[in-house]
Amino acid sequence: MQFTIAIDGPAAAGKGTISKAVAAHYGFAHLDTGLLYRAVGAKTLAGIDVLEAAITLTAEDLTASDLRTPEVAQAASKVAVLADVRAALVDFQIAFARRSGGAVLDGRDIGTVICPRAEAKLFVTASAEVRAARRYLELSQNGHDVTREAVLEDVKARDARDMNRAEAPLKPAEDAVLIDTSDLGIEAAIAAAVAAIDARKG
């Protein structure tokens, strides 16, 4: 059985939480595609050539412990504008999406570029302020020394770079179901996602 669930949206909208819950609900495999770009970004911060980093990326690179920092997030969105970097990461994502047993992929361009024929597509969003507040909480709880203002600036800078780039810009697929989590709790957001996917499963 092949069934692909594409979940796109901006940083800290709740994609990750929803994707994990949806994957567990249906018993599907889950790929956080942001990790691919974060791993490439982290390698460039370590001085490795960007294309070399993308071409030689291994599964092990995705488990590095320092991929969730604000510095790596910014580096990820900078390498993500490069067409050659994106091209180097396409085959792995498509193969993952079509694995038997079902797959959930979350990112920025899954429903538009990687899996335009995904059986179910969601676009998860929230206001920049709500997303920054969530990211601030997450980072400060994990011991990062950040301010609310800096996190909001980071979120807005990344949004602008992700939405305005020429290659695979962040935008909802025409047939995506929109879920705005600004005023939704986690359980309600997951329930909305499952209801939208069930409607596509028939």
- Binding part of the chain for ligand C5P, among 30-38, 129-137, 139-147, 192-200 by CB under 6 A, reads 30-38
Q: Which residues are CB-contacts of 66 (< 8 A; sequence separation ≥ 6)? A: 42, 72
The yes or no reply on residue 77 touching ligand C5P (CB under 6 A) is yes
Q: Is 37 in the site for ligand C5P (CB under 6 A)?
A: yes
Q: Which of residues 80-119 bind ligand C5P (CB under 6 A)?
A: 80, 107-110
Inter-residue contact 176 to 118 (CB < 8 Å): no
Report the alpha-carbon distance of residue 20 to residue 65 in Å, rounded.
19
| Number of residues lying near ligand C5P (CB under 6 A) | 15
Q: Which of 158, 173, 190, 196 binds ligand C5P (CB under 6 A)?
A: 158
Please count the other Cβ atoms lying within 10 Å of the Cβ belonging to residue 91.
Answer: 9
Q: Which stretch binds ligand C5P (CB under 6 A): 51-59, 69-77, 122-130, 144-152?
A: 69-77
Interface with ligand C5P by CB under 6 A: which range of 23-31, 53-61, 74-82, 126-134?
A: 74-82
Residue 76 touching ligand C5P (CB under 6 A): yes
Contact between 167 and 86 (Cβ < 8 Å): yes
Helix/strand/coil for 17: helix
Instruction: Single out the residue of 101, 94, 118, 107 nearest to residue 38, CA to CA.
Output: 107
- Of the candidate spans 52-60, 70-78, 138-146, 178-186, the one that interacts with ligand C5P by CB under 6 A turns out to be 70-78
Rounded least distance, CB 202 to ligand C5P, Å: 27
Give how far Cα 84 sits from Cα of 15, 56, 74, 108, 176, Å.
25, 13, 18, 17, 27
Query: Within 10 A of 94 (CB to CB), how many other CB atoms are there?
Result: 13
154 binds ligand C5P (CB under 6 A): no
Residues that bind ligand C5P (CB under 6 A): 11, 33-34, 37-38, 73, 76-77, 80, 107-110, 158, 162
